[in-house]
Amino acid sequence: MQRAAYIDLRQSTAAQVLRNRESTDRRYGLADRALQLGWPKHQIIVIDEHLARSGFATITTEVALGHAGLILSIEVSRVARNNTDWDRLLDLCGVTGSSIGGRGRPLSAWLFNDRLLSTMNGTMAEAEFRVIRTRLESGIRSGVIRTLSDKFAETGSARQVWLWFRSQPIPFPLQSSTPPEIQWVDAIYDAIYHVLTNSVYAGAYMGSKASACAICHNPSGACS
């Protein structure tokens, strides 16, 4: 407890910092938590220089140097964005005797049960992050494809749809083999044309003739 207590105030985006003030205020309240745990005010360091960025690098350095006795965050497993970084931080805490906590009891990484609980927290947080990201990306892709089909129904021209996308700040989903994840890029004509002529997007494999075509809205289920 003669070392410093570090409060990580990272939030996901700059917009969240501006609009979600309640969350920011909760994070500043962690300083009071450190006081309750016995840390003097002058040994409580709040990492808030860049609220929309993670203080992970700073925290890792201070732990490795033996300067940190306690790390506090609203969700301690979100101090790091992936399990690799999280496990590295836990290893360092185990070596230097630093504790990690939130609103509950601080966890001691050198104790087996606490280390196990911390590892599980990190695993669950990364899984939750990936599920949310997948859902959001899926929703965005669906919105873009629907917008594309609506514009094609309005203009009847792949080129006009492409020009419209180029005139709007709307990224277009592109899947490549390296890496396999979806990339969001400026719309290109070939991609627009591929969607408009691909039988999958046209609804040919919907399995029901009652399904309207996603491109031309033909109730037969595929473009004629």
The upper half-sphere exposure of residue 198, i.e. CA atoms within 13 Å in the direction of its Cβ, equals 10
Task: Please say if 118 is a catalytic residue.
Answer: no
What region does 96 belong to: left with phi over 0, alpha with psi -120 to 50, or beta? alpha
Q: How many CB atoms lie within 10 A of CB 122?
A: 23
Identity of the amino acid at 149? S
Q: Contacts by 168-174 with C-beta closer than 8 Å and gap 24+?
A: 170/144, 171/144, 172/144, 173/137, 173/140, 173/141, 173/144
The residue annotated as part of the active site, out of 12, 138, 157, 176, is 12
Residue (of 182, 142, 174, 145) closest to 161 by Cα position: 145
What's the order of all strands across the beta sheet hosting 68-72?
44-47, 4-8, 68-72, 99-101, 107-108
Q: Strands, DSSP E only, in 63-114? A: 68-72, 99-101, 107-108
Active site (catalytic) residues: 12
